[in-house]
Each structure stands twice: as C-alpha cells, then as structure tokens.
Structure 1
Amino acid sequence: MLNTACLRIHISARTTTTSRISKLANSASLNTVAARCSHHAAHYDGPSPTIAIIGSGPAGFYTAQKVMRELKGTKVDMYEQLPVPFGLVRFGVAPDHPEVKNCQDTFGDVAASPEYTFIGNVNLGHDLPLPLLAKHYDAIVFAYGASKDRKLGLEGEYKPHIYSARAFVGWYNGLPEYRNLNPDLTAGDTAVVVGQGNVALDVARTLLSKLEHLKKTDITEYAIQALSQSTIRHVHVVGRRGPMQAAFTIKEVRELLQLDDVNFSPIPDELFPNDLKSLPRPRRRLMELLKKGSPPKEGASKSWSLDFLLSPKSLTWSSSDSDKLEGVLFSKTKLEQADSPESKVTNTDETTLIPTSTLFRSIGYKSEAIPGMQELGADFDDQKGTIRHDGIGRVVSLDTREWDKASLYCSGWVKRGPTGVIASTMTDAFQTAEAIVEDWKKTFDSRRPVRAGWKGVQAEAQALNLSLRPVHWSNWQNIDQVEKAVGVERGKPREKFGNVDDMLKASGASG
C-alpha cells in the first residue's frame, strides 16, 4: 500500500495543483487516487495495441498503467536512456523524503505484467534512430522529463562555484550525468540559491542538515563526504517576487524551520498582506507559517533566510582572482499587486549586494527534443521545452494521421512543462492514456499490420549493425538487490551506483 506522501514529489521550480487533487491527496493511498481519477471505460474485447513509451518516470508508468487496464492485452515497451528506471523519483526526490519513493511499488506492479518490457540503457536518437520505431508500434508516447536547466543569463555564470540546482540534486542522488560535478563547498561560509521553488528548498535543506540524519538516507556516499567538509553556514534563498508569490509549499518550509541547530532570519512584516484571514486557507496557512518563523535556537551554528523582491543583475569577482566569486548584485523589484499570487514584477533602479562564495540557480527546467522527432511528425517547441499537442496529449491530429503508421502522444513534463506534483503528473498521464484508448477503439482497422514491438526493433537494429546493450527488468532487479545490500552494510536503504559502467556490471546484462 502506498503512502499518500507519494503525492508530494516537488521537483519543479513552480508547483501547481488543483483542489480536486488536493482532496484526493487525503485518501488512503495513491492507488485510491488512481482509481478515482480513472474513468471506467466500456468493456472492450477487441485486439489491443503495441505501444512504445519513451521515459520510465511517473508519466511513463502511469500512462502504461491506464492503457493496460483499459485495453487488456496491450503490450508496452518502455525505453529508458539509463540502465535503471523511475526517472526523477529516483534522481530528483530529496533523500530525506523516502516516503515519496513508495510509488515505485506501483510501477513495479506494472512491470510485473508479461505484456510489459523494460528496455533500459538505450538512448533513442543516438544509440537507436527514433524513426526506426514508427513501423513497429501502433503508438509512441513521449513521456520523458526535463534535462536542461534555465540559465540566469549573467556574465561569468559558467565559472567555478556556480551550480545548477538540478545538477546538484542529481549529483547527491547518484545521477550518472553529474557524478563528476564535485561541487566545492569549502570556498566560504555563505551560499545563495536563486529561485524559491521546492527544489531550491531541497538544496538549502541538504546544505544545512546534520550529517547523522542524511547518512540514514539513500544519499550517495561521495555526497556525504563532500558535505562533511562543507564550510557553508548560511543559505540565502532568493526570489524575484514576494511571499504571496513564492512557489514553495508549506511542507518544505516547515521542514527547514524545524532543522536542528539552524536559525531562520525573520521576514519583514511589511512583505505580508495586512489581512491574512481573508486569504484562501492554503495560502493563509503558508503566510502564517512564514510570518511566525521559528524561535531562535540558542547557539545554532547555521542559518537560512528567504530574501524576497530581488532579481540577479550581475556577479562580482575577487580583484585578485577572476574565478573567485565574492557576491551577487541584485536589482530590487516591485510588485504591481503585492497581495496577488499572480502579480507581475518589475525591476527598480535600486540594487543590493549579497556577499557569497557559492551560487545555485534554481529557476526552472526544460525538456529537449530527441533527434528524429520531426521526421516522425512531432513538432517540438524549443522555447517552451514541450511538444506541441492538442491539449489532451495527441501530438498529431487524428484527422491527419496515416492509418498504417504509429500514432504519436505525449505525457508529463514534455507535454505540459516541468510543473506539478506526482498527483498532477498521474492525472495528466491518465488523460493521455484515455486519448490513446479512445483513438484505438475508433480507428482500429483489421487491415492494420500486426506490430512486432521490441522484437522488430531489435531485429532491425541488428540488421543495421547497431551496437545495443539493453537492460531489461530482471537486470534492473539485479542492480536493485546489489544497491540495497551495500546500503544495509552502511546503515541506509541503498547505496546507488553513480555511473553507468557499475550499473551494467551489476545488471548481468549481456553486451
């Protein structure tokens, strides 16, 4: 049974949800939520499709779960670039939020179906041409996440001691892409995090938490070693707007306020609305918590602050070392409607300098196009980092599709952008799945050739002499067992492999 905290995965710079999802979040389990979000379709006894899902995170698994439930016998092949599944549930969730990762149990139930095939360690568009999939599937679903972080646009942003929050989170969570990030946390005693979403608070909490607490989580051993040497004692979490417009949620703020040996710098009263009681309950509770703060802890060795109405303008460097960060110059900003959560903000001529030796940017993420998308007919919006679709998840209009080629769909962040909690990702994935089911029932034609799926792809790849070393679910289970065994030895849930070679060795996959 899943813990409802699985609904509280917060990986985006801006978290959105709906009142319906908020109510459902109080139910006994995420399975209950899934059941309530799922509409029972009319019984169907016809043939079922063969589907390729690109991405093995929540969007991919929930799409698979829904289609397989509605169209019995549906075959799902799930492609993943890494040898391990679960995407941001594995690599983006904070180590001290283990309850969120319980949703992996549901994904494991999906994978246990004989109609499901996991194809890990295959980088579509690179190892395997994406268009090659088109003739082997009835539908292709793009369900991958956001791999590119947004930049501040400041001169010198590429220099040492300036990090992407996404990279930092990936580094301490064992994402191979960032195994060699090796952040230097010894340059000074102050860090600045630009951005006020839940990822920004995750970064601050990790920097400020006691090591004995983190050591009991699945944070990587090399991250523990680096954090043990950290000299950072204060973290500024900086945003362009005010408390009313902040994107973080009450749970993450409360966790930081309750950290042992860590003080919180009070927020000036003038930044809060005059009448908190008139606010909607969720926003009122957050404002009351921020205004109350936490009692000073005598002798605390660390501290943090929420700094509002500041927009980064430039970076300042040491006069003796042009690569040594000394501070961030911010423009003070002004809200058009201070009490409105959607208020626009403008820069003023006033500036303020926050001295710092280490900077993290946490202002959002973008998905990137997979090479070969356009050839399939998918139109990728580079500016938004999403695939253009009909608002439901259909990438190409049903009226213009060719009946003998794979239909295209999208789900999750590559569909709507990197926002939302796991409940909204689930609802979004179910929406896409319902479109797939509806389209299949409407357009199935007995003349349509039977799709071979992964077997057909694999045969064609071999004919083209493409070198693939796929990792299947049983191989992932080998990795899982080794990670957990090493974790037990170290008094933690698991010790994640930080690079692909080690994953492959543990997997037992032939290559």
Structure 2
Amino acid sequence: MTDPRVAVVGAGPAGIYAADILAQEHPRVLVDLIERLPAPFGLVRYGVAPDHPRIKEIIKALHRVVNRDRIRFVGNVAYGTDLKLDDLRRHYDAVIFATGAMADRSLDIPGIDLPGSHGAADFVSWYAGHPDVPRDWPLDAREVAVVGAGNVALDIARMLAKPADEQLSTEIADNVYQGLKLNQATDVHVFARRGPAQIKFTPMELRELSHSPSVDVIVHPEGFEIDDASQAAISSSKSTRLVVDTLLKHLDAEPTGAPHRIHIHLCQAPIEVLGTDRVEGLRTERMQLQGDGTVKGTGEYVDTPVQAVYRAVGYLSSHLPELPFDHQAGVITNDRGRILDLDGVPLPGMYVTGWIKRGPVGLIGHTKSDAAETIASLLQDLDQLPRPEISDPEAILEHLAGPIVDRDGWARLDAHEIALGQAQGRERVKVVPRDEMLNAARGR
C-alpha cells in the first residue's frame, strides 16, 4: 500500500499546525501544503502590523514545520481555479481546508458605504504588504474613527497615529512606508460599545499604544463604567484586570502634548456615518451597562467630526467553491472538523480547520487545539477512506499549469527579502508585487 497523501489547502497557522500534527501522529503520511500566495504563513505574514516583533518567533516555529520531511510546500496555487475539488479527490486520500478569514464583517448602519469608509481587513492587507491589494491608500483624513474593541482596532489606530519613520526598523514594504509618510491623521478615535472590562484588547496590544513618544493615549471618562459583571470579570481574569489597569493609567494621565493622539471612547455604539459626498463624521449612541455585562442605549447621541471611518468589527471567511457553507456563521459546516453536506452527512475525506471551521475567534493556542481535533477525526477515518485514483505524488505538480513556488522557491524569496533588509540596516523588507515575488522565488 502506498503512503497516504493529504492536501492541506491554506498555509497559514491553521494549515501548518494541522500538517505538523498529522506528520507527527502518522509515521508515513505525505502532506502537501497548498497555498494561493507565493509565500506561506497567512495572517501571520499578511494580517499583522509590521511593528509586532513577537510575531517573528511564531514565524520561526512555522518555518520549521514547512521545512519538515514529508511536508511539501506548493505555493502560488489557488483552490477553485488552479485546482478543483475533483482534482484534489483524485490525487489525495484526504483534504483539509484551512483558508482562514480575510474579508470584513459588515456594519449595517446608514452612511457606511460613503467614500472614506473602509473595512479593517482591506487596510490591514495594505499595510502588511499583501500582493493582491492596491499599492496606494488614501490617508488624507486628519481625524479618523475606528469602530471596534479588539486587537485589530488597536493595530489600525497605532498604524494611523505612529509616524512612518518609526516603522523603518521593521519589515514594512517600501510602498507602505511612502504611503504612511503622507498620512495626515493627528487624532484617531477608537469606539467600543461596552465598558472597560468587556473590551477584547489583550494587555500587550493595549500597552503598545503608548510606546511611541509621538502619540498620546487619551481614555475619555464618559462611559468608563464598572458594573457587577465587570467587577466579577476583573476579579476572575488577570488579562481583564491588566487591561482595565492600563486604561485607568491612561485615564488619569495628563497628555504630554504629543503631535498625535489616540482617543479611546467606551460605551459608545456607532449609529450612523455622517456625510453627503464623503465621510464627515460618526454619530454614536451612549450605552449603559446593565449589570450583567450587556448594554442598552440611553438615547443620547454624540457626533464626532472625522473624515474617515474604519470598521474593525470582525473578519469573515469566504465561501469556497463546491463546499457547503453556513453564510450566517461564516464557516464550513462541520462536525469536529469533518465537513458535512447539506443533509448533515460527512463528506468522505473532506475536513476543515482554523477560522473557516470555528469562526474568526481565538489566538494561536486555539488554532493548535482546533487542528488537533480535526487531525484526530481524520486519523480515525483514514483506514475507511477510498484510496485516490492517482497515487504518484508528482502527478499533481504536472497537472498544475501555472508557476509553482516550492520549498526551495520560498527559501529563495525569503533570502531575497532578508538581503533587501540588510542593505538598509533592517532585518527584512517585504516584497509586495506578485511578479517580483515569483521572480525572487525563481532566483531571478
């Protein structure tokens, strides 16, 4: 019997962890990591602000997995165009979909579609140097609103407030640096609809806001409420306590007169984006905590003059061709990682992991445990799965028509980015255009 072969579609953390666990649990399995971009690592490479140095340690760990025996990287290959579901079934015993979540959740309020209103995912993709987004970004607004109470909202606020020159020690792409140099923002307003104990910031992300000497962090006292549920959360969670303590320090601090300011507004829910031809302001309703962690509107409204609005209310997975999809939840319908058809019956050999399995929540630790659950289901099923029609591991590469980036190609691209950085006294400069990435992968 030939060694079992598994395709993992998506080479972000979810897919890489799934491949790693599978290779550890099964002594003979061969895994192909199929990625639509020329580079692996998904949102770790393309969903994180460039000034997050701790992400480098995660990438080092992911690097080690991609370089493992019995794991093959197949980059620049898109599911749905370069490969269809039947192709995967013909070449693999099982397929794990780990395509993550890259789209923005909608915010259904009047005016949200005005020019100057943006989705967080689009902006993050721009400043992270994603090859499939425009190279330029409009940064002419002096006052900006960011709607959301998670780490992405803080990343956006920090990137808009922090001077571009302070990013030059990072891997920031040249077009992003040049764009941020033209940024006109002086005041960035972050709006959270609940109180300080309910927001989803991590303590480290919140502390990073004040690391720039050019930025004052101002927490506004209105809405800084601690109810019974808030006090219980503070008492039971160290992370919540650290977040609230940090907010209190900013609340009590005197502004230094720095040229840029990040304002944090609590218990304010967005009601309407104001403007006629473009964004002119954001209307919010003051909310009141109800003692159980929930809020209700007070009927009191606040208009904040801004010229741009960023909605950071969550990511959303995209429907993959030929697979069932729960559009309301934004996930592939599954049971412990087994993909279910419309009748709730598992599709033989089809699995899912990561955000497209459980929704865009949780950190790296959740991704690992999620992958472990999916791999346990796959291994339980493996002996009963039909063998693929084509057993030759090289046949799938011959089937693909476009240029493929293999492990060696990714190593060349990686080395090229590091060399670009060294020439500027930096660790790395990220290459953005896809054609330049492919040329670097070929050693050109």
Please confirm whether the aligned pair reaches a TM-score higher than 0.5, indicating the same fold.
Answer: yes
Aligned positions of 1:311-330 closer than 5 A: 311-317=269-275, 322-330=276-284
Aligned positions of 1:475-486 closer than 5 A: 475-486=409-420
1:300 correspondence with 2:255? no
8 Å contact from structure 2 (residues 140, 185) kept in 1: yes
Question: 2: CA distance between counterparts of 1:126 and 1:509?
Answer: 26
Aligned mate of 2:12, from 57, 68, 87: 57
8 Å contact from structure 1 (residues 77, 453) kept in 2: no
Aligned mate of 1:456, from 395, 416, 429: 395
Aligned positions of 1:486-505 closer than 5 A: 486-505=420-439
Question: 2: CA distance between counterparts of 1:306 and 1:134?
Answer: 50
Match in the other structure for 1:468: 402
Aligned mate of 1:350, from 283, 300, 313: 300
Q: CA deviation at 1:270?
A: 6.5
Aligned mate of 1:193, from 143, 146, 159: 146
Q: What SS does the aligned partner of 2:413 have?
A: helix
Aligned mate of 1:271, from 221, 224, 235: 224
Aligned mate of 2:370, from 417, 420, 428: 428
Q: CA deviation at 1:357?
A: 0.9
Match in the other structure for 1:202: 155
Specify whether residues 144 and 506 from structure 1 end up closer, same or farther in structure 2 by C-alpha distance, changes over 3 A only: same
1:136 correspondence with 2:98? no
Q: Map Cα deviations across residues 319-361 of structure 1 (whole Å, 9 max, x no partner).
A: xxx4332101122333332xx4xx3333343211010011111
Aligned mate of 2:205, from 235, 252, 259: 252
Aligned positions of 1:112-127 closer than 5 A: 112-127=67-82
Q: Which amino acid aligns with 1:469?
A: P
8 Å contact from structure 2 (residues 143, 188) kept in 1: yes
8 Å contact from structure 1 (residues 313, 330) kept in 2: yes
8 Å contact from structure 1 (residues 77, 116) kept in 2: yes
Question: 2: CA distance between counterparts of 1:453 and 1:145?
Answer: 29
Q: Which amino acid aligns with 1:346?
A: K
8 Å contact from structure 1 (residues 239, 310) kept in 2: yes
Segment drifting more, 255-264 vs 499-508: 255-264
8 Å contact from structure 2 (residues 190, 264) kept in 1: yes
Q: Which amino acid aligns with 2:272?
A: S
8 Å contact from structure 2 (residues 89, 388) kept in 1: no
Q: Map Cα deviations across residues 24-68 of structure 1 (whole Å, 9 max, x no partner).
A: xxxxxxxxxxxxxxxxxxxxxx97421000000111011111110
8 Å contact from structure 1 (residues 137, 453) kept in 2: no
Q: CA deviation at 1:444?
A: 6.4
Question: 1: CA distance between counterparts of 2:388 and 2:443?
Answer: 32
1:145 correspondence with 2:100? yes
Aligned mate of 2:122, from 167, 172, 181: 167
Match in the other structure for 1:283: 240
Question: 1: CA distance between counterparts of 2:75 and 2:51?
Answer: 27
Aligned mate of 2:380, from 438, 454, 462: 438
8 Å contact from structure 2 (residues 412, 443) kept in 1: no
Question: 1: CA distance between counterparts of 2:217 and 2:173?
Answer: 27
Q: What SS does the aligned partner of 1:167 have?
A: helix
Q: Which amino acid aligns with 1:303?
A: R
Q: What SS does the aligned partner of 2:334 have?
A: coil
Alignment gaps of 5+ in structure 2: none
Q: Which amino acid aligns with 1:472?
A: D
Q: CA deviation at 1:69?
A: 0.6
Question: 2: CA distance between counterparts of 1:156 and 1:400?
Answer: 42
Q: CA deviation at 1:288?
A: 1.9
Specify whether residues 117 and 311 from structure 1 end up closer, same or farther in structure 2 by C-alpha distance, changes over 3 A only: same
Question: 2: CA distance between counterparts of 1:315 and 1:282?
Answer: 33
Q: CA deviation at 1:500?
A: 1.1
Question: 2: CA distance between counterparts of 1:134 and 1:500?
Answer: 29
Question: 2: CA distance between counterparts of 1:254 and 1:458?
Answer: 47
Match in the other structure for 1:7: none
Match in the other structure for 1:333: 287
Question: 2: CA distance between counterparts of 1:114 and 1:292?
Answer: 50
Segment drifting more, 219-228 vs 259-268: 259-268
1:310 correspondence with 2:310? no
Q: CA deviation at 1:74?
A: 0.7
The CA RMSD over aligned residues, in Å, is 2.5
Question: 2: CA distance between counterparts of 1:94 and 1:499?
Answer: 18
1:87 correspondence with 2:37? no
8 Å contact from structure 2 (residues 274, 282) kept in 1: yes
8 Å contact from structure 2 (residues 330, 359) kept in 1: yes
Identity within the alignment, % = 34
Specify whether residues 272 and 454 from structure 1 end up closer, same or farther in structure 2 by C-alpha distance, changes over 3 A only: farther
Match in the other structure for 1:183: 137
Q: What SS does the aligned partner of 2:82 have?
A: coil
Alignment gaps of 5+ in structure 1: 1-45, 374-378
Q: Map Cα deviations across residues 279-329 of structure 1 (whole Å, 9 max, x no partner).
A: 223322221221121633533212111112222222222xxxx43321011
The size of the alignment, in residue pairs, is: 437
Question: 1: CA distance between counterparts of 2:85 and 2:394?
Answer: 15
Q: Which amino acid aligns with 1:385?
A: G
Q: Map Cα deviations across residues 373-418 of structure 1 (whole Å, 9 max, x no partner).
A: 2xxxxx211111101111x211149x9668xxx5111110001101
Q: CA deviation at 1:132?
A: 1.7
Q: CA deviation at 1:434?
A: 2.0
Question: 2: CA distance between counterparts of 1:270 and 1:344?
Answer: 13
Q: CA deviation at 1:215?
A: 0.6
Question: 2: CA distance between counterparts of 1:454 and 1:175?
Answer: 30
